[in-house]
Structure 1
């Protein structure tokens, strides 16, 4: 009996140590996005990943190699899906969904709330967490893919900076939105903002950029200007 207990003790120590090492290595390979659980997909993946590791460490009736193979294969599946979503915006929407505008120009969008299965009580709670107690103070509110609410206050309610002192109050022309992602036009956003490819190219040429392929990321600003980050030449 004593020998059996000693065997189980050292077996559990060994399994736990190996499971810990495997989990650490695979988590590092998966990267920071996986660890931060930014979206529902990565949240579920993280839970399953930990469950498999727990089975591998604590269940003696589960063959260690079987659990290790399952853990490695799960990590590989996650990496493959992450790579595909990185290259395909359509697949990224399927996996991670996409942000939803729930308040635009101070107006609540009922259809967006219903689609997100969100109550106004939930919206108000998330607004209060950002010290906003009135819908009238909100210019835009976006429900992100991780379930959090991003809010752009109306210009009159925004905290002033040093450059804003004595500056006239003007409402933003655009909501900051991505126009180019990884060398490709984000057609959906351009359509919503009523922008054309010719307009984008005109803005890029002013920055000595002759092709959309040269741009890694471009975002339209509230005043209609364009923030551009070029691709690395390395």
Structure 2
């Protein structure tokens, strides 16, 4: 078994220089693409973020990948993310395809078994979200919604309101 602890100063210098340049390139591209590129993440955003990190690591550590190649790969991933998010804002079918839709798991104190099974969420997890929101009684909850980013939103029961935050959520309302 061949253990290599030090490849020489040239290897370290390459990682340092390429690392600084690749990091600066990534930051520049992210600033150009806007705040949405790495905002609160749904599954699609997470995949792109992991791919960006993997690409950056490959550029840093692989002598076979030139900085220019890595910059093009980073630009491609960020551009694809921009195009997908741009179209998802304008076309509902793209948004549903990429991010899914929020799913109601509890409505007016009743657990909704089919959505719970679809989402693979337990009643205990819903109850934990209710407790985390500062409530201790299910009857004080209008609904619990599984958001597209995987978080659970608890909607407190209120007097009748003209505008509900539950519009657009799949479920019985």
**TM bucket by the smaller chain?**
0.7 to 0.9
**Which residues of 2 match residues 19-168 of structure 1 at below 5 A?**
19-155=22-158
- How does the TM-score come out when normalised to structure 1? 0.63
Structure 1 residues 108 and 173: CA distance shift in structure 2, 3 A: farther
Please report how far the alpha carbon of residue 175 of structure 1 lies from its aligned counterpart in structure 2 after TM superposition. Answer: 2.9
Please report how far the alpha carbon of residue 59 of structure 1 lies from its aligned counterpart in structure 2 after TM superposition. Answer: 2.3
Q: How many angstroms apart in 2 are the aligned matches of 1:66 and 1:176?
A: 45
- Asked if the contact 2:15/2:61 (under 8 Å) is kept, the reply is yes
Q: How many angstroms apart in 2 are the aligned matches of 1:177 and 1:119?
A: 21
Structure 1 residues 36 and 117: CA distance shift in structure 2, 3 A: same
Please report how far the alpha carbon of residue 177 of structure 1 lies from its aligned counterpart in structure 2 after TM superposition. Answer: 4.7
SS of match in other structure, 1:176 = coil
- Asked if the contact 1:37/1:46 (under 8 Å) is kept, the reply is no
- Asked if the contact 2:129/2:154 (under 8 Å) is kept, the reply is no
Match of 2:165 among 163, 176, 180: 176
Larger Rg computed on CA atoms: 1
Bigger strand share: 1
Q: How many angstroms apart in 1 are the aligned matches of 2:131 and 2:15?
A: 48
Q: How many angstroms apart in 1 are the aligned matches of 2:90 and 2:123?
A: 35
Please report how far the alpha carbon of residue 133 of structure 1 lies from its aligned counterpart in structure 2 after TM superposition. Answer: 2.7
Q: How many angstroms apart in 1 are the aligned matches of 2:160 and 2:87?
A: 39
Gaps of 5+ in 1: 156-169, 179-187, 194-234
- Asked if the contact 1:102/1:112 (under 8 Å) is kept, the reply is yes
- String of CA shifts for 1:130-157, please: whole Å, max 9, x gaps: 12233222112211111112222223xx
CA RMSD of the aligned region, Å?
A: 2.3
SS of match in other structure, 1:84 = helix
Q: How many angstroms apart in 2 are the aligned matches of 1:55 and 1:100?
A: 37
Q: How many angstroms apart in 2 are the aligned matches of 1:115 and 1:90?
A: 20
SS of match in other structure, 1:10 = helix
Between the two proteins, the alignment pairs up a number of residues equal to 165
**Which residues of 2 match residues 186-225 of structure 1 at below 5 A?**
none
- Asked if the contact 1:104/1:141 (under 8 Å) is kept, the reply is yes
Please say which of residues 118-127 and 85-94 is displaced more in the overlay: 118-127
